[in-house]
Chain A
Amino acid sequence: MECESVREQMLDVLYGEADADSTARFERHLSVCSGCQEELANLRGLRFTLQAWTLPRQRRSVRRFAPPRYFWAAAAAALVILALGGALALAGFEMRFTRGPVVVRLGGAARGTTVAPRASDELSTVASQNAVRTAATNGLQDEVLLQRVSEMIRQSEERQQLTVRANLTGFEQRTARQRRYDLARIGAGLSYLDGRTGQHMARTTELMGYVLQASNRREP
């Protein structure tokens, strides 16, 4: 009964998780109980045996979740270009090149009535593009996640195909092995029967010989 009650302490001692009090209590019990001494020794031996199960060499299965650093640099550059474009559009930037020198002009006041609506169009376009970019940045984790999922599905399918192929090959090999084994057994069985029949015939002939000898001896 006491052995049952110290079992938990035995596990704590076995795995080095016992505090000083329980260790002392358990050792007191151990000093008078040969059954528990043997049990502890057996468990230690078993733990040693269990260490024989080693893992195969592992390959990494999980790729990076965070986007690479240059992604942020590219995103920042795109935003700067967009902002610059927006600013130029607001300032009425105009560039012409029609059979003459290149003409660059800021603040297209000469065509105020036509430029103003264009600038507002540009402004709304830039604003909507910025909104899209912001949404894209916010939804970055989802995007990364989706990419990761599709990549994982692809890898998984490849691996499954490989496994199926390997299993089929293994199945063929096992079938061939089993066939060879069955044929060998059938052959051995036939030889055995053949041997038995031969022995039986020999014994019959031998008996017949005795019978003949006996009958010959009685005749005179």
Chain B
Amino acid sequence: MGPLDEELVAAFQGGDVAAFDTLVERWERKIQGAIYRILHSDDEARDLCQETFLKAFRGLGSFRGQAQFSSWLYQIALNLCRDRMRRRKTRTWVSLDEMGDAAPADRGASALELVENRDLSRRVAAAIAALPEEQREAIILKEYEGRTFPEIAEILDVPVSTVKTRLYRGLDQLRRRLEQQGIRGSSDAAVAAP
């Protein structure tokens, strides 16, 4: 295990620029993944990921550890995503072509399973994209980024109870939407209607 984020931040603030590269290597994939799940665009995810780290690079000198470094990074990324969404002036859209190159989850799966998984992946992505922004962010941070409730509260700057309310409402809506499409979750397998 390498140095803690806080140690790397202190090293950077002490003049060690290379410490920032270690932070980038540690968080780049996670941040890029989170942006992708919000914007549904690979190109935009890479652009905004670069911009996130650029902003962090500029601002890290004055970062005083008021939040965890990772929470601060997620905050920057989410703000950039919100700006981008506002600029689009439309609701989130899902490019089915782009979703099509999702990495297969199971190398041993048959072709039919892969096709079914890909279809399910698209449907889940589309259902999440249709959620209100606040619920979508809560679900992505919890379900896909694996942040704890206090961390999400820090990132979104709201109380933990608000995070839980948004998450619960989002999950409830998602379940309804997916069930309307005949997709019912079970602990064994997700069942999609033919």
Q: Interface residues, chain A, CB within 8 Å of chain B?
A: 7-8, 11-12, 15, 17, 41-62, 64-67, 140-141, 144-145, 148-149, 152, 156, 159-160, 162-163, 170
Contacts and interface: CB of A to CB of B under 8 A. Distances in A.
Contact of A152 (B42, B54, B121): B54
A66 B142 contact: no
A51 B189 CA distance: 11
A62 B17 CA distance: 14
B104 A58 contact: no
Tell me what chain A mostly uses at the interface: helix, strand, loop, or mixed.
helix
A91 B143 CA distance: 72
B168 A53 contact: no
Contacts of A60: 28
B164 A66 contact: no
B190 A11 contact: no
Contacts of B185: 42, 44-50
B74 interface: no
A49 B183 CA distance: 8
Contact of A65 (B49, B57, B171): B57
Nearest to B52: A62
Nearest to B61: A141
Given A8-B161, A56-B101, A145-B58, A50 B124 contact: yes
Contacts of A44: 185, 187
Contact of B120 (A43, A52, A149, A152): A52
Interface stretch (B2-10, B18-26, B78-86): B18-26
A75 to B, nearest CB: 14
B105 A156 contact: no
Contacts of A45: 184-187, 190
B117 interface: yes
Contacts of B135: none
